[in-house]
Amino acid sequence: MTLTAGMLLGAPAHAAPPGGGERAAAPDTRVPPSPGTDAAPRTHAVPRPSTGEARRASRTAYTDLSRSQAVSLAQRHFPELSRRGYKALDLEPGQRVDAWLGARAARITRPGEADLLLESQLPLRTLSETGAPTPVDLSLRDGEDGFAPLAPIVALEVGDRAHEGIALDDIGVSVAPVGVAEATGVARQDKAFFTDTAPDTDHIVTPLPTGVDLGAQLRSPASPERFRWRLDLPAGARLQLSADAPGAEIVGVGGIKLAHITAPVAWDADDRQVKSALAVSGDELVVDVAHRETRVRYPVMLDPTILEDAAHWYANAAVPVDLSGWMWTDPGKRFGYFYGAAYLGNGLYTYNRGSTVFEAGDYANWYFNAPGTSRIVRADFGYVKHEPQTAGTWAAPYNDDRSYQGVWSYQQGRYESGRWCDLGEGGACGTSPFTTYGALHYASKTHFALEATPGNAAIFGTSVFYAGAHAPFTNFLGSASVWIEDVDAPAVTEDTGLSDQRWTSDRGFQARATDTGLGLRKLVVDSPGNPGWRGAYTYDASCTGDRRNRCPQVGYVHSDTTGLPEGLVPIRYTATDAVGNVSSRTWTIPIDRTSPSVLPDRHASPGATAPLEQDDDSVLVFEAEAEDAGAGVRSIDFELVAEWGSVVDESADPEPQSCPQHGCRKHREWSVSAYLLMSGQYTLRTIATDQLGNRSVDERVVDVVRGIPPALR
């Protein structure tokens, strides 16, 4: 028996080379509506001043205090002085930074939960003394010559004695109070207290993210009504009153503004404004506070502030306050707005100037939407300053304009319930949202324990309650951080070619991932157990997920089976979103590129049934069996070929079979009329074809001699 086997394959249809792409999410056009009625009682609508007796008693109650008593007095009446200093990262136990995403965003890991995305207006990191990036922290540390913030955005040094003042090294400016006693300072959180710098007077220095606050506590009528600070300026620089904003400014060579000095404000223990004014005399700031002949309740707090221009921030000149992502709505078109560096700092402003007629309920919001179905689980509103009306029908503390903040649920059409707390131990807490009609002096509040409905929004807003003419007011947000959660993993779905369970020799396929929250960061296709497969591919969106580089909500990857082995081969797609949620889905593709095998004949002399005579009408019976481990055998065809090459007889399979289960066999017999065959040598050709058209040919020689049984070999 002579056996010749071969494989007849069609050319495979390869798909395109592996690759992927994305489709960006549609723009977010959601706008939070009116805040409606007050979110909290109008606690400042009806003032509750102290009695005349209490005011008179305060004129002598705080004289001759010790240093600790003077510090405690200030912290008691002006609670912001007792709160913890600004930290860019206020993490809860177990949380840590998994990755820094540029200057103003980070991915925060949580024990047993998906990561959070932290987005901040202010830079999260600065350079330490060693030059290494380190999180911003304004807590004061004691040094040999005074105090300095641990890791400031703007470089600041505070002398250990009151008369030494402060130095803003970035812009080469030093500021020192004039005519103060040689008082030694003490640090509390981020505040340096210098007590008894003048009769019943204490100076207070507080670093801010973008500058420094120069405060003074006035404890009795013996306290001065005029305060001076002398500035040591770089060559060619000058100090002057601002032409376009309240306060003063430091202007360098060529007219470049180095810093702005806010108009001073002064408030007594009843939260009443005390008249103050600022003037410039050469290189000196002169601040007058008329407190002695007025009905004030002591102590009185005064706080002019120096704010560096962002272009001069230490090590962060290229990354100033980032206000992207915050949007503005003012349906009545009655409020003024500004974003960027201005007289209160670098941030978001809502204001009114002059006398403006408002309708009752007019409002304006700065708001930040959580992308898609992600949700804000915490919102920090820092360095908020509210300057209410000081004139007109509704003057402070009877003012009408209010500042509010909280997290809005689009899903529920209302503010989310939760908690807010001032930073630091002993700070006030309340039910979120927060609203006030009173003055806020660089206050900071964090909102947490929220309902966290999908696609919610952080809101910093302003509204008026009564219709009529309103005098100037300002609402300012100096820093904001939103903490965004996305707990849902991406969904992986098939586009084409994966769920088809028909056998294939080569096939292209494609699947995609969809993430309706913070978006898709990566989509990988591979085949488990087949390392080095050239069809493997990683689509990397090259995004960080924060507002500067949002991730697409959809990505896809296409590939094909080229290079994969035969059999039931797994194809796996793995999707990762912006905060590390992972989903994976595996399909199985049946691959068969091998032709069937024709099994050896089971008879010693297959095909012969009887001796052949010339006129014999007997038949020769041939049989064959084929197997295929993949798609299965579809048909067996026979050909009988004479030695001169002609096909003398043939038989196509009359009953081709389908193969509902992989690997099916087939058996077939073929009968040939013997009298048609002359003596000689023939070739029996058996052709087995599988379900995909893969063919194999088995050839055996048949010797026919008349009068002698044929021999098949």
CA dist list (Å): 72 to 217, 266, 341: 12, 19, 34
Tokens of 113: 């939960």
Q: What is the dihedral of CA 308, 309, 315, 319, to 10 degrees?
A: 130
Q: Report, as an integer, the average pLDDT of 658-663.
A: 85
Instruction: Give the model's pLDDT for residue 567.
Output: 93
Other Cβ atoms less than 10 A from the Cβ of 327: the count is 17
Instruction: Give the model's pLDDT for residue 702.
Output: 86
- Give the separation between CA 350 and CA 344, rounded to whole angstroms: 12
Upper half-sphere CA count for residue 532 (Cβ side, 13 Å) = 1
Q: Report, as an integer, the average pLDDT of 147-151.
A: 90
Tokens of 131: 């030059």
Note the pLDDT tens digit of each residue in 434-444. 998 887 877 88
- Give the separation between CA 314 and CA 633, rounded to whole angstroms: 77
Instruction: Give the model's pLDDT for residue 451.
Output: 95
Instruction: Report DSSP letters for 395-435, one per residue.
Output: -TTS---EEEEEEEETTTTEEPPEEEEESSTT--EEEESEE
Instruction: Report DSSP letters for 551-599, one per residue.
Output: PPSEEEEEEE-TTPPSEEEEEEEEEEETT--EEEEEEEEEE--PPPEEP
Instruction: Give the model's pLDDT for residue 698.
Output: 93
Is-above-0.85 flag for pTM? Answer: no
Q: How confident is the model at residue 317 (pLDDT cuts 50, 70, 90)?
A: very low
Q: Report, as an integer, the average pLDDT of 163-192.
A: 90
Please give the share of the chain, as a percent, with pLDDT higher than 90. Answer: 53
Q: Bigger pLDDT: 109 or 305?
A: 109
Three-state SS letters, 144-185: CCEEEEEECCCCCEEECEHHHCEEECCCCEEEEECCCCCCEC
User: Phi and psi (nearest 5°) for 375?
Assistant: -145, 140
- Give the separation between CA 401 and CA 410, rounded to whole angstroms: 25
Tokens of 700: 């055996």
pLDDT tops 70 at residue 655: yes
Instruction: Give the model's pLDDT for residue 61.
Output: 92
Note the pLDDT tens digit of each residue in 536-589. 999 999 999 999 899 999 999 999 999 999 999 999 999 999 999 999 999 999
- Give the separation between CA 62 and CA 42, rounded to whole angstroms: 31
- Give the separation between CA 554 and CA 177, rounded to whole angstroms: 59
**326 and 348 in contact (C-beta within 8 Å)?**
yes
**Residue corresponding to tokens 């913030």:** 149
CA dist list (Å): 41 to 435, 445, 577, 624: 8, 18, 42, 95
**Residue corresponding to tokens 């020192």:** 176
H/E element, 58: helix 52-61
Tokens of 666: 């087939």
H/E element, 57: helix 52-61
Question: Could you tell me which residues come within 8 angstroms of residue 567 by beta carbon, excluding any fewer than 6 positions away?
Answer: 590, 591, 630
Instruction: Give the model's pLDDT for residue 465.
Output: 82
Q: Report, as an integer, the average pLDDT of 437-463.
A: 91
- Give the separation between CA 442 and CA 469, rounded to whole angstroms: 27
Question: Could you tell me which residues come within 8 angstroms of residue 583 by beta carbon, excluding any fewer than 6 positions away?
Answer: 489, 490, 491, 492, 513, 574, 575
Question: Could you tell me which residues come within 8 angstroms of residue 654 by beta carbon, excluding any fewer than 6 positions away?
Answer: none
Q: Report, as an integer, the average pLDDT of 244-258.
A: 84
Instruction: Give the model's pLDDT for residue 619.
Output: 79
Q: How confident is the model at residue 308 (pLDDT cuts 50, 70, 90)?
A: low
Distance of CA 406 to the CA centre of its chain: 20
Residue 78 in 3-state DSSP? coil
**548 and 106 in contact (C-beta within 8 Å)?**
no
pLDDT tops 70 at residue 368: yes
Q: Report, as an integer, the average pLDDT of 529-539.
A: 95
Three-state SS letters, 435-474: EECCCEEEEEEEEECCCCCCCCEEEEEEECCCCEEECCEE
**678 and 646 in contact (C-beta within 8 Å)?**
no
Q: Bigger pLDDT: 492 or 37?
A: 492
3-state percent breakdown (helix, strand, coil) of the chain, nearest 5: 5, 45, 50
Instruction: Give the model's pLDDT for residue 656.
Output: 96
Q: How confident is the model at residue 617 (pLDDT cuts 50, 70, 90)?
A: low
Note the pLDDT tens digit of each residue in 384-413. 988 888 777 666 655 688 899 999 999 999
Range with lowest mean pLDDT among 19-28, 55-64, 129-138, 262-271: 19-28
Nearest by Cα to 666 from 645, 646, 687: 687
Tokens of 265: 């404000």
To 5 degrees, how large is the angle CA 118–CA 124–CA 126? 165
Rounded to a whole number of angstroms, the distance between the first and last alpha carbons of the chain is 3
**511 and 495 in contact (C-beta within 8 Å)?**
yes
Note the pLDDT tens digit of each residue in 38-75. 444 343 344 455 677 888 899 999 998 999 999 999 98
Q: Bigger pLDDT: 12 or 102?
A: 102
Q: Is the dihedral of CA 449, 450, 451, 452 positive or negative?
A: negative
Q: Bigger pLDDT: 672 or 39?
A: 672
Question: Could you tell me which residues come within 8 angstroms of residue 485 by beta carbon, excluding any fewer than 6 positions away?
Answer: 114, 116, 117, 374, 375, 376, 377, 452, 579
CA dist list (Å): 697 to 547, 621, 624, 667, 700: 65, 19, 12, 15, 10
